[in-house]
Amino acid sequence: MARIVFIGAGSVEFTKNVLSDILTFPELGESTLVLHDIDADRLATAEAMATWMVGELRLGAKVEAHLDRRAAVDGADYVINEIAVGGHAATVRDFEIPRRYGLRQTIGDTLGIGGIFRALRTIPVMVGLGEDLAELAPHALLLSYTNPMSMIPRAVYEGSSFDRVVGLCHSVRDTEARLASLVGVPEEEISFVTAGVNHQAFVLTFERGGENLYPVLDQVIANDPELRRTVRVEMYRRLGHFPTESSEHGSEYLPWFLHHDAEVERLRIPVEIYLQWSRENVDTFEETRRRLAAGEGVEIEPAMELASEVIHSIETGTRRIVHGNVRNGGLIGNLPAAACVEVPCVVDRAGMRPTRIGDLPPQLAALNQTFLNVGELTVRAALEGRRDHVYHAAMLDPNTSATLTLQQIHDMVDEMIAAHGALLPEGIR
């Protein structure tokens, strides 16, 4: 059976969700589940949880736990990446320092100054993982959930000798379900084509039986003033295609919202909401550890996680369409070939095969390019040890450049580099 490795397994809520899927697929119930984390306490908790789940379901799955990453990935078939380098403390720094300069963020893990520094912390680890896989499991498939999604897979396929990496994110699936609900049409009756870059993809085709459903959506929006008080609807009205990212997330990739008090209020943008979520994640870990120690176990309920669906499709031949983040290479004609783009992929026993989209509408490609410019410079900074490119990435970031002067940006970057220290690539710190 498959050897499925979890990197960052101490993120117990996410690990539980994927394990719940894997262990309730009859065809995967005998898999070898390999857990890795650099935090011994979190690893022990994840191991206890996985062992309890296997026992509760009376399955033959094997559970391994390794502090050593190479031992974990040796011979892997699938590697699921869920790391958060620096943990909650690094996240707090990503918000506290920019706040002192007057720079607002909501989630700070994809673009903006928070996304830049999350990438800089994560890329060295991921390149190292790629080299381990090239040596120890060259045929494995790396399924990466860690943000920033447009930068992390690219850093692996450009910075290591391993290129079997796909980024996975729920945003497209959730958006398509949301649109179906808004227009009152069963999702299975709708033809969607959605593509772009992660967290800034767009629904290009939204039809039922050849009927364009966008006019139906327009009427729904016209009749709902609360719906109009959202960033994603504002962007849809301006660009003509619905964006895949939530309003709180999408607001920080753009120059038009967070710097303006009136827009924050009008569009109900939850500034720094991710700090609350990050604290809740810490609380969830503590509660899971307590429940396991008390013999209470955890809830086992399938979560339809994308990684488990990909694994099931490849192992069984069950055909699915899953949106993956992969090297462009012409899949989207008017975005750079080296970029990491989000497109529908056919998944079955032959693996994951991305769909060629063609050109995006020019206004969407132009907006994506401003997003990709920041990622390009950040990846270059990390792979080449170029501190100057960190400044350049921050200078070109839409929200940062709309808020701060060049000198403020330079000073803030210096302070962020000093604060994150050894977590950053050599040549930058």
For 118-176, write each residue's pLDDT tens digit: 999 999 999 999 999 999 999 999 999 999 999 999 999 999 999 999 999 999 999 99
- Lowest-confidence range among 29-33, 163-167, 243-247? 243-247
Mean pLDDT of 68-96: 96
Q: Note whether residue 7 is domain-resident.
A: yes
Cα separation, 168 vs 122, in Å, equals: 16
Which pLDDT value is given to residue 365? Answer: 98
Q: Is the pLDDT of residue 391 over 90?
A: yes
Per the annotation, the verdict on 420 as an active-site residue is no
Cα separation, 73 vs 143, in Å, equals: 13
Alpha-carbon separation of residue 344 from 192, 194, 234 (angstroms): 10, 7, 25
pLDDT band at 282 (very low <50, low <70, confident <90, very high): confident
Q: Note whether residue 369 is domain-resident.
A: no
Decide if 404 contacts 423 (C-beta within 8 A).
Answer: no
- Lowest-confidence range among 15-19, 287-291, 418-422? 287-291
Which pLDDT value is given to residue 280? Answer: 87
Cα separation, 175 vs 102, in Å, equals: 31
In eight-state DSSP terms, residue 161 is S
Q: Note whether residue 371 is domain-resident.
A: no
Q: Note whether residue 337 is domain-resident.
A: no
Cα separation, 179 vs 137, in Å, equals: 40
Q: Name the pTM for this structure.
A: 0.95
To the nearest whole number, what is the mean pLDDT of the chain? 95
Q: Note whether residue 57 is domain-resident.
A: yes
Cα separation, 244 vs 171, in Å, equals: 6
Q: pLDDT: is 132 or 287 the higher one?
A: 132
Alpha-carbon separation of residue 92 from 176, 254, 272, 359 (angstroms): 32, 22, 10, 39
Q: Is the pLDDT of residue 278 over 90?
A: no
Mean pLDDT of 186-197: 97
The region, left, alpha or beta by phi > 0 then psi within -120 to 50, assigned to residue 297 is left
Cα separation, 64 vs 190, in Å, equals: 42
CB atoms within 10 A of CB 177: 13
pLDDT band at 187 (very low <50, low <70, confident <90, very high): very high
What is the residue range of 29's domain? 3-90+108-167
Q: Is the pLDDT of residue 61 over 90?
A: yes
Which pLDDT value is given to residue 285? Answer: 86
The pair of structure tokens assigned to 356 is 């060629």
Mean pLDDT of 296-313: 93
pLDDT band at 208 (very low <50, low <70, confident <90, very high): very high
User: Can you tell me whether residue 234 is helix, strand or coil?
Assistant: helix
Cα separation, 275 vs 163, in Å, equals: 33
Number of domains in the chain: 1
Total count of residues recorded for the chain = 429
Half-sphere exposure of 364 (CA within 13 A, CB side): 26
- Burial zone of 405 (CB within 10 Å; 0-12 exposed, 13-18 middle, 19+ buried): exposed
Q: Is the pLDDT of residue 248 over 90?
A: no
Cα separation, 83 vs 147, in Å, equals: 9
Q: Note whether residue 292 is domain-resident.
A: no
Mean pLDDT of 346-360: 97
Mean pLDDT of 271-298: 88
Q: Is the pLDDT of residue 1 over 90?
A: no
Q: Note whether residue 131 is domain-resident.
A: yes
The CATH number for 9's domain is 3.40.50.720
pLDDT band at 274 (very low <50, low <70, confident <90, very high): confident
Which pLDDT value is given to residue 284? Answer: 87
Q: Which of 244, 73, 98, 263 minimizes the C-alpha distance to 171?
A: 244
Q: For 137-140, which contacts have Cβ atoms below 8 Å and span 24 or more sequence positions?
A: 137/73, 137/74, 137/75, 137/76, 137/77, 137/79, 138/162, 138/164, 139/77, 139/164, 140/5, 140/73, 140/76, 140/77, 140/78, 140/79, 140/164
| Percentage with pLDDT > 90 across the chain | 90
Question: Which of 170, 259, 260, 410 does the annotation list as catalytic?
Answer: 170
Instruction: Please enumerate in sequence order all residues whose Cβ is within 8 A of that of 303, keeping only pairs 6 or more positions apart, or say none.
Output: 17, 18, 20, 21
